[in-house]
Structure formats: C-alpha cells, structure tokens
Structure 1
Amino acid sequence: MSSNPLAIFRRRARKPAFGRILLYVLMVALAVPFLLPLLWMVSSSLKPISEIFSYPPSLLPSDWRWDNYARITDYQPFGRQYFNSLYIAALVCVGSVVVSAMAGYAFARVRLIGGGTMFVLLLTALLMPSEVIIVPLFRLFSEIGWTDTHWPLIIPAVFGSNSVFGTFVMRQFFLGLPAELEESGRLDGLGRFGLFFRIALPLAGPSLSAVALLSFLHSWNSFLEPLVFLRTPEMFTLPVALTQIVDSYGAPVWNVQLAASTLTVIPVLAVFLVAQRWFIKSIVNSGLKG
C-alpha cells in the first residue's frame, strides 16, 4: 500500500466526489416520477387530439402543433385572464405577508391577557374548510354588490386561512429571536413599532418568503371562489378559464387546454425556484422553535 501523502490525499478527495455523484444520480432517478406528468403535459400540448389518446403512447409528438398555443385565444380572453390571476395573487401575497408578520409579532412579543387562548382560537380557522363558509360569503358579497368582481377573491384570502398559517409561521420565527436584540433597540429609544420594523422584520426574510410563496400558490390555484363569484369570461382567473376551453358541443379541446395549462404553471415554477431555499429553511425553523 502506497504511503505517498499525495496519493492518500487524492484517494480521500475522490470519495466525497463519488458520493456526491451517486447522490445526484439517486435524486434524478427519484425526480423522474414527479417530472413525468409535467413532461407529458408539455408534450401533449404540441400534439393533435388524436395522438394524445393513441396507444401505445409516445412522449414526443410525431406531428408538432405549435399553433395549439395560438388557438387558446379563440376560446377564451386568455391574456386578460392571465393578468387577472397575476395581479390577484400579487395583492393576496403582499396582504398576507403584511397581516401575518404583524399578527405573528404581536402574538410572540406583546403580552396580552388570554393571548395564548386567542392564538389557539385563531388556529382553529385552519380546521374549517372554505366550502363551509362559501354560502354565507356569497350572500354577504351579493348584498354589497361585489359579485363578478375580484374583491371576494382578495379580501377573504388576505384575512383567511392564508394569514392564519402565515401568522403561525411568523410567530414561531419571532419566538426564536433573541430577546437581547430588542433590549438593545429599547436602549436606543425604539418603541414597539420601531423594534418590529427596524429589528425583527429585517431578520425575518426566510419566513416572509415562505408566507409569500404559500399565499401566492393558494391564490393562483384557487378554483371554488372564482367559480362562485365570477360570471363573465373577462373576469375569470386561470383555474376557471381552463375548464371553459371547450368546443361547440361542450367537450374539452384537450391539446389547447394542455397548452393553456403549460402557460399557467410558468409563474408557479418561477416563484418556487426563486423562493424554495428560504421556504424550506423557514418550515424547518418553525417546527423547531417555540
């Protein structure tokens, strides 16, 4: 056996590299079952309808139909609906982050009589499915003239279960912050709002990104509320619009519908790829602290 120090160093350096390669290969193999539906959707969006249901199935189309994407606007005002989903999700995301951050900090740092009981009652909102309150909400928004507008998709989302879970995440983060940070801020003359905005909030980046990501995804994928409150195609969001891509007999136009679905997942993938590291870090921290 060689006693050359350089050879020993090379052998030791090679082992971690081989382990990393093996780990990457394993991760790619495990990712295939999750990526296959996405690949099938993209591939089928470029096929004629007859080829989508052919047997045996083929992943790549034999007749590439790029015009499937151009045909989306023949069935729905897709550009307007895309904008609707984007701006509603953005407003819900910002509103939920603001509400969750302030409520989470209050539950973590402000000592109130019955604060623990109030927090438990708040968490019970997570046990209530949206289907339970959809009829009272519809009657309420009908009375104030908000049907076929986007307000019923924004206001309940900002102050509903989105912000309840966000409040839990932010509370867990703020409980884990050292109290000495705020004590030093008090010595500098900061009040409660100053401590929140200048000390606690700048340190809450990972938790804020997790709340923002979850709120965006919840609003982007919401189907029941737009289906109940919206009437005109120009006001539809994407989940409802996808169900309306049908022919004159009411049958789905599968290749065009899949093309629209492919365009729909692009913002979701972009947001998740940007925020995934902070999201995972925040969820881990929220489970370990408090």
Structure 2
Amino acid sequence: MSTLVFSKSNRKDAAMTDVPWKRYLNRVLWYATLLGVSVPFVFPFIWMVSGSLKSQSEITAFPPTIIPETFRWENYVEIFQYQPFAQQYFNSLYIAVVVTISIMFVASLAGYAFAKIKFKGANLVFLLLLSGLMMPEEVTIIPNFFAMSTLNLMNSHVPLILLPVFGSQGIIATFLMRQFFMSIPNEVEEAGIMDGLSRFGVFWRIALPLSGPALAAVAILSFLHSWNLLLEPLVFVSDLDKFTVPLALNNFSDAYGLPLWHLQMAATSLAVIPVLLIYVIAQRHIVQSFAMTGVKG
C-alpha cells in the first residue's frame, strides 16, 4: 500500500514538473511562429526607415543593404527644403481632423435615426444610402469635379472635406453607427423618456455615451481614409502649398521626373507617424466595435 501511494505521488510530482516546461515550450513555438509570420509585414517598414537614411545611389545599389553605410540624417532636412512639406503635412493633418469630427457628428445622428426612429420608408432610404457604396470614387469624380467647379471651390480644401463626409466614407460610418445603436435595448431609452428626456436628450445623454467603441472605429477609419486620400487632392488642388501628404510624396522627383527615393522614404517615414499613433491608441476599440456591429441587424 505504501509503495502504491509512493508511486502515485511520484507520478503527480513528475506531472507537475512537466507541465511548466510544456507550457514554456508551447509559448516559445507560438511566439516564433508569430515572429516568422510578421516578417513580411514588418520588413517593408524596416526597408523604408533604412532607405530614408541612405543616399540615392545606395538605395539603387546591388546587392541591397539593410543598414546604411553612412547615416544621412540630412535627408529629413532636405525634404523641407525641396518643397513646403511642413505646410503640406499640416494640410493633411487638419483636413483629416475636420473630416473625422464631421463624419462622427453626421454618422452618429444618421445612424441613430435609422436605428431607433421609426418612419415610413426608413428601410428603403437606408438601402438607397447603402447603394452609394456600389459606385466607386473613380466613377463619381467627374460629376464632383463639375459640381465643385460650378461652386467655385476648385483649388481649395473644401472638396477634400465635403466629399468624404457625404460620400462613401460617411455611408460606411453611418452603417457602423446604425448597427451599434440597434444593439442598445429599447428599454433603456424608454426609461430615459419616462424620466422626461426628449428624443434628442435620449440620444445625447444615453445612446451617444454608450457608443464609444463605435465612435472610435469611425474615427480611425475616417482619419486613415482622409490621410491617405490621393485622387481627390490630385483633381481639386493645384497649388504646391495646398498639397496634401500623398501629393507631396509623389512630387519628390528630379528634373527628368525620376523619383528621389531617399527623400520619398524620409517623407514617408514622417507620414506614417500619425497612422501608428492612431492604431496604438485606439486599436482595441475598433476590434470591439466590429464585434458589436453584427449583434443586431
């Protein structure tokens, strides 16, 4: 009997000592797999930062090198001397902020109306709104060009603000907000109305504070869409000091139209900073919002 108890205790102790090693090994293998999968995604970023510190000749040299032979920090100075990159950077920044705030305001109101206010033809109007997503921006750019030209808004930043707010990006944001507001129980709003709140009061004091994750997702998507916008600035803006960052990146070229890769890499490295900050700050909110948009349909 004592031998049996002793053997069982030995097996138990051996199992307890084996489990931590297995967990450690599984964790190492898991991290190694993730590290290997992330290489194709991280390598372009590393190459961009490395190229921003090289000379033009070293970037085009073969075989290529990851670590620059000579770190040319002056590339980050030359991009501001080549063109008014600081002004162009500010243009993209303030346009993206204005577009983001405007879309959050319009989409939250429209999404709440489609989700909670019952009116005749609501579903038909919503379907017509979603049908706008089937038309690519390349198709609507010519009518928008004539409309902005008629309103004397060419060579200004107004089209770059209005078109995303009332275009496809605004529609996507409205859809996300509608899906989120539909997940809010009607009993919560009925309790607010019984306490004397108006319809707008229910929206402002109850529904909107609960929609933080959805608003964060809308903010991220709207900011990134506006920050990366190229076609509209290319069509509506012609002055160099009114360029946005995507146009400015395309403008780093020599007299023959060949790209100045070392300057483009340096400018692109600076252009990535707001995008990285947005993702680091609010990445968990966008995942939570997308998980909640399908709760109720």
* TM-score normalised by length of structure 2: 0.92
Which residue of 183, 188, 200 maps to 2:195? 188
2:249 and 2:264 in contact (8 A); partners too: yes
Are 1:39 and 2:46 counterparts? yes
Provide the C-alpha distance between the structure 2 equivalents of 1:6 and 1:167, rounded to a whole number of angstroms: 59
Extract unaligned runs of 5+ from structure 2: 1-6
**How many angstroms does 1:287 deviate by?**
3.0
Provide the C-alpha distance between the structure 1 equivalents of 2:184 and 2:45, rounded to a whole number of angstroms: 40
Which residue of 218, 242, 245 maps to 1:238? 245
- 1:122-172 CA distances to partner (integer Å, 9 max, x unpaired)? 001111111111112111211222111100100111111111001111111
Greater Cα radius of gyration, structure 1 or 2: 2
Matching residue's letter, 1:275: A
Provide the C-alpha distance between the structure 2 equivalents of 1:188 and 1:9, rounded to a whole number of angstroms: 59
Structure 1 equivalent of residue 3 of structure 2: none
Which residue of 255, 262, 276 maps to 1:255? 262
Structure 2 equivalent of residue 199 of structure 1: 206
Provide the C-alpha distance between the structure 1 equivalents of 2:179 and 2:23, rounded to a whole number of angstroms: 36
Which residue of 168, 171, 176 maps to 2:178? 171
Which residue of 192, 198, 212 maps to 2:219? 212
**How many angstroms does 1:250 deviate by?**
2.3
Matching residue's letter, 2:283: Q
Structure 2 equivalent of residue 85 of structure 1: 92
1:75 and 1:246 in contact (8 A); partners too: no
Are 1:3 and 2:9 counterparts? yes
2:183 and 2:295 in contact (8 A); partners too: no
Provide the C-alpha distance between the structure 2 equivalents of 1:198 and 1:167, rounded to a whole number of angstroms: 19
Matching residue's letter, 1:215: S
Provide the C-alpha distance between the structure 2 equivalents of 1:203 and 1:7, rounded to a whole number of angstroms: 51
Provide the C-alpha distance between the structure 2 equivalents of 1:239 and 1:142, rounded to a whole number of angstroms: 22
Structure 1 equivalent of residue 56 of structure 2: 49
Matching residue's letter, 1:150: H
Structure 2 equivalent of residue 129 of structure 1: 136
Are 1:96 and 2:109 counterparts? no
Per the alignment, in what secondary structure is the counterpart of residue 165 of structure 1? helix
Are 1:269 and 2:269 counterparts? no
Counterparts of 1:18-37 in structure 2 under 5 Å? Answer: 18-37=25-44
Extract unaligned runs of 5+ from structure 1: none
Provide the C-alpha distance between the structure 2 equivalents of 1:228 and 1:77, rounded to a whole number of angstroms: 20
Cα distance change, pair 183–8 in 1 and its aligned pair in 2 (3 A): farther
Counterparts of 1:102-141 in structure 2 under 5 Å? Answer: 102-141=109-148
2:92 and 2:244 in contact (8 A); partners too: yes
Provide the C-alpha distance between the structure 2 equivalents of 1:24 and 1:285, rounded to a whole number of angstroms: 29
**How many angstroms does 1:21 deviate by?**
4.0
Cα distance change, pair 242–3 in 1 and its aligned pair in 2 (3 A): same
Cα distance change, pair 3–178 in 1 and its aligned pair in 2 (3 A): farther
Per the alignment, in what secondary structure is the counterpart of residue 293 of structure 2? helix
- 1:40-79 CA distances to partner (integer Å, 9 max, x unpaired)? 0110111111111222211111121111111102221000
Q: What is the percent sequence identity of the aligned residues? A: 49
Cα distance change, pair 111–13 in 1 and its aligned pair in 2 (3 A): farther
RMSD over equivalenced CA pairs, Å:
1.7
- 1:29-50 CA distances to partner (integer Å, 9 max, x unpaired)? 2111101111101101111111
Cα distance change, pair 18–98 in 1 and its aligned pair in 2 (3 A): farther
Cα distance change, pair 18–288 in 1 and its aligned pair in 2 (3 A): farther
Cα distance change, pair 289–31 in 1 and its aligned pair in 2 (3 A): farther
Counterparts of 1:148-167 in structure 2 under 5 Å? Answer: 148-167=155-174
Per the alignment, in what secondary structure is the counterpart of residue 112 of structure 1? coil
**How many angstroms does 1:6 deviate by?**
7.6
- 1:1-46 CA distances to partner (integer Å, 9 max, x unpaired)? 6637787666556655554443333222211110111110110111
Which residue of 77, 80, 96 maps to 1:73? 80
